[in-house]
Amino acid sequence: MFRVFGLVLLLAAFTFAQDESVSDYDRWMQAKAHRDSVKNAERIQKNSVPFDFLVGMTMNLGFKVINNETQLSHYEKEDRIVFFEGAFFQVGASVQWPLLQYHLAVRLGVLFEYAPLFLSEPLYIEDGNGEDKRVTGGGLSQGRIAFPILFAVKPRSSFVSFEFGPQISIPLFDKLELDGARDRELDSSMEFSMLLGVGFRVNERIFLDLLLDAKFYHKYNERFADGLAHWSSVAIKAGVTFNPL
């Protein structure tokens, strides 16, 4: 009888010890999983590149071409002709507002643009006697106030973002200076364009970007030159934004 009772106690003690052992193991595994998850979260946080709120000064340098469809009386080609081309610069202010801290931001700006372009294809202008005069030299000086609206998208750990968005440009002046013809201040309409490119976050104060600027609406009201009324333009520009705060 005592042997049976002792055997039962031994089995109970063994079972209890086994339960305690399993319970300790489970707690150890849970603690390890927690430590691993904390380390993983810290690693992800350390490698994350956020979109910071940024207010700064922006400067862009670029190259622009102005062209037109060549269904014109003085041109026989069927593709586009580049009438004016040259370098330009933009300077102004911009603000970056994070929408999703690590993935999405919007960048708004107001920029003054100046573009001294030179004539790269002859223009035919009215000479006042009902005839067209061929002009091969001269240029076009443009001034604009541009309002870009850019959306930036990127992976969580990337310093590089994909940028796209519209831009509205208000003409300040368009001064046409042609050799052998009087200077003219052209009447230009508001311009709409699409921006597309990439941005690069150097640090919390400096941001770089490279953008293509394609205008899909650009009109001059004057018709004294063949091909002057309806133009489109394409520009590529590189810029830097500096946040002094």
What pairs with residue 38 in β-bridges? none
Helix (H, G, I), strand (E, B) or coil at 36: helix
CB 91 within 8 A of CB 62: no
Taking the domain 51-242, which CATH number applies?
A: 2.40.160.20
Residue % of the chain over a pLDDT of 70 = 68
How much is the pLDDT for 31?
Answer: 64
Q: What is the mean pLDDT of the chain?
A: 80
Query: Out of 120-134, 175-189, 190-204, 218-232, which region has the weakest mean confidence (pLDDT)?
Result: 218-232
pTM for the model: 0.75
CA angle 223, 227, 232 (to 5 degrees): 110
What is d(CA 54, CA 244) in angstroms, rounded to the nearest whole number? Answer: 9
138-174 tens-digit pLDDT? 899 999 999 999 999 999 888 999 999 999 999 999 8
Helix (H, G, I), strand (E, B) or coil at 16: helix
80-138 tens-digit pLDDT? 677 889 999 999 999 999 999 889 999 999 999 999 999 988 877 776 666 677 888 88
How much is the pLDDT for 39?
Answer: 56
End-to-end CA distance of the chain: 87
Domains of the chain: which residue ranges? 1-13+23-46, 51-242
